[in-house]
Structure 1
């Protein structure tokens, strides 16, 4: 089976990211996910000593017949079941074996790299009681690009991403399957071919790999990266929509926005002023106030812009946390039982993000509705058709594209119900309150995908609308819009005769995913 991943960036090794106890950023995970950097495990002796100390402490407890959750006991509600010492080495195998029940689509290679990097980051904090050898094995998977096939469905987000992460644990031990160069192969064969020896997990290592928030956090990093770009591309589209609609640039006046001090909203307005410098006096020959989807665009896009800083804080704090259970304090020789696997912060971040993102889809959909309607577009042809003369009667322009954009918007809006409020009591009421963080993250990525499809439709629309406005009025847009129009013209020809647009839309989606346009400094 061959996996196609059309939006995967080509390998462009810019720098190296070394895993140790230092703080990672969202951008680090995105770079690893896109294969834009090399990865390495620190060879610093102090760092490696910290890791070894936790594993050595667990060995000491075992020698003293200490009771350790998930090491000498069963898992979850089975924590009351004592495991005979002679069976302790087999317990990690049983953990990943019985959790191998995921379903749904597999995570993409990009997503899987992010998951591996995120789990490795947590284990490197030194509070999970794992060996240096385990960290080296995960690092090698990333270096060799051997990516576990991980089904996307099956996690309730506490006790961590158990089921999806069981596929990582199994692959480390030479079981199940991996993607290798886009081909599905057995993990045992893939490890053998690169000279890797399957692990025999130490007593707590299965729990350490699986009992954490790596999947939801990895997806959140990727979602954040896309949402940050959405803020900029939606702003540029708004500027082009305003120009095409012969709108009023004074709606984005600096003094006007100084009296409502939301920094993100003010930034969006400032970008619009770069694209649409206002004349010395407000125009008064037409409508005094543009409709809300233009006039209030900074207020809609600005919600996501203003959310990004706290979203980053929540995501990066989770990324840089030890989030399994129990926490192993090797320095002070303590085993700390808690609930750091709970993904509530990521769940809230993703539920919040998808709401703000879907609102931008709705905003752009409303802009397109104005652009194609001759009652509201200030003299542009119906459906932005470029056909003239007798042939205008058989051409329908962007009529169907507006329907599709409306469908994508409706689906995005439908998915904004917060996943985090749907906690289900599971596992004999041991996991009686769970985060649903992974479902929230998957929903957020789907909302982003649908919104990017709306963005692609709007890029076609504003390219056509600006071209028509220039033809009709003889006006010339400012340089930013001129440059964007020129770039879009490389991918989308003006529509003078009806034609199939799917291939152009897919190309624009690729451009969005690879951030082709450097929009604002």
Structure 2
């Protein structure tokens, strides 16, 4: 599902330069917040000093990778000073071979924010004018069309980032005013003069981890919300099944003090009004998908702090090559474009999130089956009398949930272990970070679909309990009651079979927009 830019963040301003960004700020820019580059004379001079240092090396006929040499394995090829200024343009052009779907406008804006953040560190030898141009594109909402396939995650996201570089020089296509248009035509309409990339600027734009980091910021935001959503769904599943809330007791969880796991247990416990209604069923122990939910969702919740650290360190780093130390007058050749930290986070996150899909899938299976759902009708059908024979409730939705879960689980193979040797064995060990990030986004999409189906189903289940007199509406906690009200605003209880595709899509979209209030 393609996410669109919503207007809610358009008045927000995110500042770049001489400060660290949070991943929430990247998400805000992705959703339409304005970018504001540091304008102080001291900061402008700091950035320009790096560009001038590159110029001085050229004047002295110094050898700088990617400036006076070819790229990658071609680093032994000397480029004459008369051709140096053409080299960045060639880098952007020969990498124009991306395929697959294009990044959504939100994702592409996040990429621009991440690249601006990295270049604004001031260790890439670029001009202040280049930073200003990215700021301008963001604020005019001129978004490069970036194909999502073609990066192995080292030397960074070369191919997808070439589409940003190309737009800066007035080439390829952009999304502007909701339409795909030629960059040259948009620039002509707005009176924008294409940049001429200085030596090192093509390499600085492309040789970094901005695409995988951008996707990681967006993925983190969605995964963090999913942990809360899965906790709320678990509480609703427990109510639907007449479960035993003693499974979430604070004394019990004090004995195994993983902080994230215990936070999940606390959220579920608060949703269940635990001390007033500890046990409704005849089962001493509920099945694992209810009883062990904090232990499953809690893995993600406990992993989020280290994931944030990895993502935000990458976001605020200079991650191209070579690094330009203008103050010390050093050119430092290294491998900061390697996306191993982001690859690890994305491989880990997709594992945690897919396990949540699997958890909710099992909860759905329990509430659908009369053998396990404590007296509810098969497939949670609300049909009565002789109409029961021809109505099938959530039967097909549960099959869909199983399909989405299976696909999510299939995506959990770690991408980072599939390194390939490329580019004449120069790039002989690569991170696959962008593929891992794309996998994670797909797993999140599938898990959000599973969660959407479960929200509808558990809403139906609780209403069935109330209608049967087995659950008192007044006994519901305010948090669960509010979710029921919110879901019911879009979802009419299923008493007669009808297509549910549209309400499912609508619910998925609201999950992705963090519409449902699941914060405690």
Query: What is the CA–CA distance in structure 1 between the aligned matches of 2:197 and 2:51, rounded to whole Å?
Result: 12
* Structure 1 SS opposite 2:156: coil
The CA deviation string for residues 453-490 of structure 1, in whole angstroms up to 9 with x for no partner, is: 00011011101111011112342222221111111110
Where does residue 23 of structure 1 map in the other structure? 20
Where does residue 133 of structure 1 map in the other structure? 129
Alignment of 1:417-456 (within 5 A): 417-456=413-452
Cα shift at 1:277: 2.1
Structure 2 vs 1, CA of residues 6 and 118 (structure 1 numbering), >3 Å: closer, same or farther? closer
* Structure 1 SS opposite 2:505: helix
* Structure 1 SS opposite 2:174: strand
The CA deviation string for residues 62-86 of structure 1, in whole angstroms up to 9 with x for no partner, is: 0000000000000000000001110
* Structure 2 SS opposite 1:198: coil
Cα shift at 1:285: 6.2
Question: Does structure 1 conserve the Cα–Cα contact (< 8 Å) formed by 2:169 and 2:194?
Answer: yes
**TM-align CA RMSD:** 1.2
Question: Does structure 2 conserve the Cα–Cα contact (< 8 Å) formed by 1:156 and 1:434?
Answer: yes
Cα shift at 1:41: 1.3
Query: What is the CA–CA distance in structure 1 between the aligned matches of 2:106 and 2:74, rounded to whole Å?
Result: 35
Where does residue 272 of structure 1 map in the other structure? 268
Where does residue 381 of structure 1 map in the other structure? 377
- Alignment of 1:354 with 2:320, yes or no, is no
Alignment of 1:134-213 (within 5 A): 134-213=130-209
Query: What is the CA–CA distance in structure 1 between the aligned matches of 2:295 and 2:51, rounded to whole Å?
Result: 52
Cα shift at 1:443: 0.3
Query: What is the CA–CA distance in structure 1 between the aligned matches of 2:326 and 2:79, rounded to whole Å?
Result: 23
- Alignment of 1:504 with 2:491, yes or no, is no
Question: Does structure 2 conserve the Cα–Cα contact (< 8 Å) formed by 1:7 and 1:510?
Answer: no
Query: What is the CA–CA distance in structure 2 between the aligned matches of 1:11 and 1:388, rounded to whole Å?
Result: 44
Query: What is the CA–CA distance in structure 2 between the aligned matches of 1:509 and 1:280, rounded to whole Å?
Result: 33
Alignment of 1:50-61 (within 5 A): 50-61=46-57
Where does residue 249 of structure 2 map in the other structure? 253
Query: What is the CA–CA distance in structure 2 between the aligned matches of 1:5 and 1:154, rounded to whole Å?
Result: 20
Alignment of 1:269-308 (within 5 A): 269-279=265-275, 283=279, 286-308=282-304
Where does residue 12 of structure 1 map in the other structure? 9
Question: Does structure 1 conserve the Cα–Cα contact (< 8 Å) formed by 2:244 and 2:281?
Answer: no
Query: What is the CA–CA distance in structure 1 between the aligned matches of 2:109 and 2:35, rounded to whole Å?
Result: 11
Where does residue 237 of structure 2 map in the other structure? 241
TM-score, reference length from structure 1? 0.98
Question: Does structure 1 conserve the Cα–Cα contact (< 8 Å) formed by 2:5 and 2:30?
Answer: no
Question: Does structure 2 conserve the Cα–Cα contact (< 8 Å) formed by 1:9 and 1:514?
Answer: no
Cα shift at 1:14: 4.0
Cα shift at 1:6: 5.7
Cα shift at 1:194: 2.0
Query: What is the CA–CA distance in structure 2 between the aligned matches of 1:222 and 1:87, rounded to whole Å?
Result: 40
Query: Where does the alignment leave 5 or more consecutive residues of structure 1 unmatched?
Result: none
Query: What is the CA–CA distance in structure 2 between the aligned matches of 1:38 and 1:128, rounded to whole Å?
Result: 23
Cα shift at 1:195: 2.2
Structure 2 vs 1, CA of residues 390 and 130 (structure 1 numbering), >3 Å: closer, same or farther? same
Question: Does structure 2 conserve the Cα–Cα contact (< 8 Å) formed by 1:130 and 1:204?
Answer: yes
Structure 2 vs 1, CA of residues 285 and 302 (structure 1 numbering), >3 Å: closer, same or farther? closer
* Structure 1 SS opposite 2:107: helix
Where does residue 334 of structure 1 map in the other structure? 330
* Structure 2 SS opposite 1:136: helix
- Alignment of 1:32 with 2:17, yes or no, is no
Where does residue 124 of structure 1 map in the other structure? 120
TM-score, reference length from structure 2? 0.98
* Structure 2 SS opposite 1:104: strand
* Structure 2 SS opposite 1:85: coil
- Alignment of 1:319 with 2:315, yes or no, is yes
Query: What is the CA–CA distance in structure 2 between the aligned matches of 1:478 and 1:12, rounded to whole Å?
Result: 31
* Structure 1 SS opposite 2:468: helix
Query: Where does the alignment leave 5 or more consecutive residues of structure 2 unmatched?
Result: none
Where does residue 515 of structure 1 map in the other structure? 514
Query: How many aligned residue pairs are there?
Result: 517
Query: What is the CA–CA distance in structure 1 between the aligned matches of 2:401 and 2:305, rounded to whole Å?
Result: 29
Where does residue 361 of structure 2 map in the other structure? 365
Query: What is the CA–CA distance in structure 2 between the aligned matches of 1:246 and 1:512, rounded to whole Å?
Result: 26
Query: What is the CA–CA distance in structure 1 between the aligned matches of 2:348 and 2:441, rounded to whole Å?
Result: 12
Q: 1:462 aligns with which of 458, 461, 464?
A: 458
* Structure 1 SS opposite 2:36: strand
Query: What is the CA–CA distance in structure 2 between the aligned matches of 1:327 and 1:517, rounded to whole Å?
Result: 44
Cα shift at 1:21: 2.0
The CA deviation string for residues 184-229 of structure 1, in whole angstroms up to 9 with x for no partner, is: 1111111222221101100100000000000000000000000000
* Structure 1 SS opposite 2:14: strand
Query: What is the CA–CA distance in structure 1 between the aligned matches of 2:13 and 2:150, rounded to whole Å?
Result: 33
